[in-house]
Structure 1
Amino acid sequence: MIVTLTANPSVDRTVTLTEPLRRGQVHRAASVTSHPGGKGVNVARVVSGSGARVLAVLPATEDDPVVHGLRTAGIEFRTVPVVGGPRVNLTIAETDGTTTKINEPGHPLRAGDLAELTALLVELAAGAEWIVLSGSLPPGVPVDWYCRLVATLSTPRSSPNGTHRLRVAVDTSDAPLHALFAEHSGAAPDLIKPNSAELGQITGLDAVALEDPAAAAEAAATLIDRGVGAVLATLGAAGAVLVTADGAWFAAAPPIRARSTVGAGDSALAGYLLADLAGAAPADRLRTAVAYGSAATALPGTELPGPADISLDAVTAHRLVIVDRPPAPA
Structure 2
Amino acid sequence: MKIVVLGLVGVGRIGVMHANNIAGLRDVLHRRGVDLQLRLTDVAADHARTIAAGLGAEFFPSAAAMLASGLDGLIIATGTATHPELIRAGVTAGIPVFCEKPVAMNVAESLPVLDFIRDNRGVVQIGHQRRFDVGYLEARRAFLAGELGWIHSLRAVTCDMAPPPVEFLATSGGLFRDCSVHDFDIVRWLTGREIVEVYAKGSNRGHPAIGGVGDVDTALALITLDDGTVGTVSASRYNGAGHDVRLEIQGSDNSVLVGLDDKTALVSAESGVSFPGGRPHQTFAERFDQAYRSEMAAFVELILGERSNPCTPEDAVAASVVADAAQESLATGAPVQVGVSVLS
TMscore range, shorter length: 0.3 to 0.5
Q: TM-score, normalised by structure 1?
A: 0.34
Specify which structure has the bigger relative contact order, considering alpha-carbon pairs within 8 angstroms and separated by 6 or more residues. 2
Mark the structure with the bigger radius of gyration: 2
Q: TM-score, normalised by structure 2?
A: 0.33
